[in-house]
Amino acid sequence: MSADRAVLNEALERGEEEGGNIEFKERLSRDLHLADGRMESLAAQLRHRVLSGDGEATYVVGVTDDGGIAGISPAAFSETMDVLSLLAEEAGAHIDTVETWGVGDAGERGLVGIATVREGAYLESDDNHIIVGTAGHVDHGKSTLVGSLVTGQADDGNGGTRGFLDVQPHEVERGLSADLSYAVYGFDEDGPVHMDNPHRRTDRARVVETADRLVSFVDTVGHEPWLRTTIRGLVGQKLDYGLLVVAADDGPTRTTREHLGILLATELPTVVALTKVDAVSEERISEVEREVERLLRDVGKTPLLVERHGVDAAVEEISSSVVPIVQTSAVTMQGLDTLDQLFERLPKTSAEGGQFRMYIDRTYSVTGVGAVASGTVTAGSVEAGDTLLLGPMADGQFREVEVRSIEMHYHRVDRAKAGRIVGIALKGVKEHEIDRGMVLVDPEMEPIAAKSFEADVMVLNHPTRIGAGYEPVIHLETVSEAAVFYPEGGQLLPGDTGHARVEFKFRPYCVEEGQRFVFREGQSKGVGTVTKVYRD
């Protein structure tokens, strides 16, 4: 018997009691249980169960009144969770966690589940929640530094805290990140709120629930073959700040310069962390520090040494033109308190107004819930129950979907604002129908499915010239798609700024005027801003 199944059996053995906090429900339906005054009585019942359990109730779903295993279909289970969520809201509570088990024969499989209902409304996320994107060369210690920041634990010298972020078995085995990873920590009146065990969903949820201020990290990839994934992380998320790492035992590399170029081309305020300072001499630290200063000045930026000028100056001066530099070691924890002070005090930079929009970065399917789309909310806000448009599909159409529920770092929330990294469970679509680069938007936005647009572009690097028919990959929000360029005047040379018409090769995407993008093909790279969108 698994530990999870033991939880179910324990609840069944305890059973329903008049003064207890356990309630059995075979299923709940909108038509039956939310009509003719039943909602009020069921909400009162839920409130009684929550109070009986000192703020926590257990709802066992898919069982009969006497605790017999019945099992219900995934669709019925999902509807039951929707209704239970509304009842909880009516009672001043919220669904905190849901666990499910499959029951029955292979031909007639059903679900039984346990929903933990807690007192209090869903978390209303902090308006000062900031999102930080990491960048830097492979083995320069990005993931290790972030792992030590979010746990407050020193690294073992072999990248042990990196394991808190890497998400694929082959990444842990090789010590290389191959996809974006996410982490979170926060602050309250007593200082940092760390994760004890980042591998536990509930631990991330605890940080989100208890911290007064949150800092989310989008940890990107340092290895050259996955540069497009790094660009996706830096361009496709609604970041507030960049964190560029440079190892003191190696110094700036070509990858360092490329990542810095992407950060600065998107005008993202950036902090440089010199990592591994425990592994080299003071002379070497000063030498690498000077190299970083020269690198920044070469691209028109002003370096600010935090050790010399202090945290107050860094908080006040950081911008798209002033870049603070901090000496750090994940092994000795040197400089991590300085980063803590910075992240606790740095203001949010991304605006939160407008109608809801979220470009999809990942998709997955949850038993009993269905399709989930995750990404960073880039504008407006969304609530459970809202109707949104999803698309464009391959034919250029947008589909109407309903928001079932919203999670932020595994903590269920009732509302998500711009700048939040969230997973949104959707009704009205299958997971395999959703692709990265699609968008979820407020229907009132009347989104455009565009196959082509015009843009002002700057060529950062190219071996010869860019002419008509040039085919790079465009990175715009979470879109990574092959496109064809038609420069005004017929060509663009390295360092040139000009105008071009851009056409996606294979399918349309939602594009808006003013959006910035990165394009690359081999060693050729550039940036652009959308100036006009064609409705195709």
Round to whole Å and give the CA distance between 169 and 491: 45
Question: pLDDT averaged over the chain?
Answer: 82
Distances (CA, A) of 333 to 199, 273, 328: 22, 13, 7
Does the structure show a pLDDT above 80 at 82?
no
Place of tokens 């329903």: 16
Round to whole Å and give the CA distance between 77 and 434: 22
Higher pLDDT, 229 or 205: 205
Quickly state the pLDDT bin for 14 (edges 50, 70, 90): confident
Structure tokens at 37: 């005054």
Structure tokens at 314: 């860094």
What confidence tens digit (pLDDT) does each residue in 465-504 have? 788 999 998 988 889 899 999 999 888 877 778 899 999 9
Quickly state the pLDDT bin for 526 (edges 50, 70, 90): confident
Does the structure show a pLDDT above 80 at 313?
yes
Residue 392 CB burial class (10 angstroms; 0-12, 13-18, ≥19): buried
Give residue 161's pLDDT. Answer: 66
Query: 307: part of which helix (H) or strand (E)?
Result: helix 306-309
Place of tokens 């807690």: 118
What confidence tens digit (pLDDT) does each residue in 182-222 have? 678 899 889 999 987 655 656 666 777 788 888 888 765 43
pLDDT > 90: percent of the chain: 36
CA 336 to chain centre: 23
Q: Which of 57-61, 224-228, 232-236, 476-480 has the lowest mean pLDDT?
A: 224-228
What confidence tens digit (pLDDT) does each residue in 54-77 have? 888 999 999 998 888 888 888 788
CATH topology of domain 357-445: Elongation Factor Tu (Ef-tu); domain 3 (2.40.30)
What confidence tens digit (pLDDT) does each residue in 237-248 have? 567 898 999 999
Helices (H), 211-281: 227-235, 254-265
DSSP structure class, residue 280: S
Contacts with 265 (C-beta within 8 Å, 6 or more apart), sequence order: 458, 460, 516, 518, 527
What confidence tens digit (pLDDT) does each residue in 412-448 have? 777 888 877 788 989 999 999 999 999 999 999 889 9
Distances (CA, A) of 433 to 230, 428, 429: 25, 11, 7
pLDDT > 70: percent of the chain: 83
Whether 59 contacts 115, CB under 8 Å: yes
CATH architecture of 449-534: Beta Barrel (2.40)
Up-side HSE of residue 157: CA atoms within 13 Å toward CB? Answer: 3
Residue 382 has φ and ψ, to the nearest 5°, of -145, 150
Give residue 221's pLDDT. Answer: 47
Of 64, 115, 110, 55, residue with least CA distance to 86: 115
Structure tokens at 132: 């930080």
Residue 159: count of CB within 10 angstroms of its CB: 17
Round to whole Å and give the CA distance between 11 and 9: 5
Round to whole Å and give the CA distance between 535 and 523: 32
Domain ranges (residues) in the chain? 3-119, 130-345, 357-445, 449-534
Q: What is the mean pLDDT of residues 20-43?
A: 86
Round to whole Å and give the CA distance between 461 and 520: 9
Of 47, 105, 38, 96, residue with least CA distance to 71: 105
Structure tokens at 1: 């018997």
Give residue 225's pLDDT. Answer: 38
Asked whether this chain's domains 130-345 and 357-445 adopt the same fold, the reply is no
Residue 50 has φ and ψ, to the nearest 5°, of -65, -45
- b or e along 22-43 (b: 16 or more beta carbons within 10 Å of the residue's beta carbon)? bbbbbbbeeeebbeeeebeebb
Of 271, 270, 230, residue with least CA distance to 518: 230
DSSP-based three-state secondary structure for 404: strand
Cis peptide bond N-terminal to 392, omega within 30: yes
Give residue 248's pLDDT. Answer: 96
DSSP-based three-state secondary structure for 403: strand
Structure tokens at 165: 């972020």
Residue 3 CB burial class (10 angstroms; 0-12, 13-18, ≥19): exposed
What confidence tens digit (pLDDT) does each residue in 266-304 have? 778 999 999 999 999 999 999 999 999 999 998 888 999
Round to whole Å and give the CA distance between 40 and 529: 53
Quickly state the pLDDT bin for 250 (edges 50, 70, 90): very high
Does the structure show a pLDDT above 90 at 386?
yes
Give residue 178's pLDDT. Answer: 30
DSSP-based three-state secondary structure for 349: coil
What confidence tens digit (pLDDT) does each residue in 325-377 have? 999 999 999 999 999 999 999 988 765 568 899 999 888 887 667 888 988 88
First to last CA, the chain: 57
Pairing relationship of beta strands 110-119 and 56-61 according to DSSP bridges: antiparallel
Higher pLDDT, 434 or 463: 434
| CATH number 3.40.50.300 given to 130-345 | yes
Of 25, 446, 496, 408, residue with least CA distance to 208: 408
Whether 407 contacts 423, CB under 8 Å: yes
Round to whole Å and give the CA distance between 342 and 316: 10
Distances (CA, A) of 212 to 182, 189, 192, 421: 19, 8, 10, 17
Up-side HSE of residue 461: CA atoms within 13 Å toward CB? Answer: 13
Round to whole Å and give the CA distance between 165 and 123: 24
Structure tokens at 250: 């190696």
Round to whole Å and give the CA distance between 137 and 229: 13
As a 3-state breakdown, the chain gives helix, strand, coil percent values, each rounded to 5, of: 30, 35, 35
- b or e along 367-379 (b: 16 or more beta carbons within 10 Å of the residue's beta carbon)? ebbbbbbbbbbbb
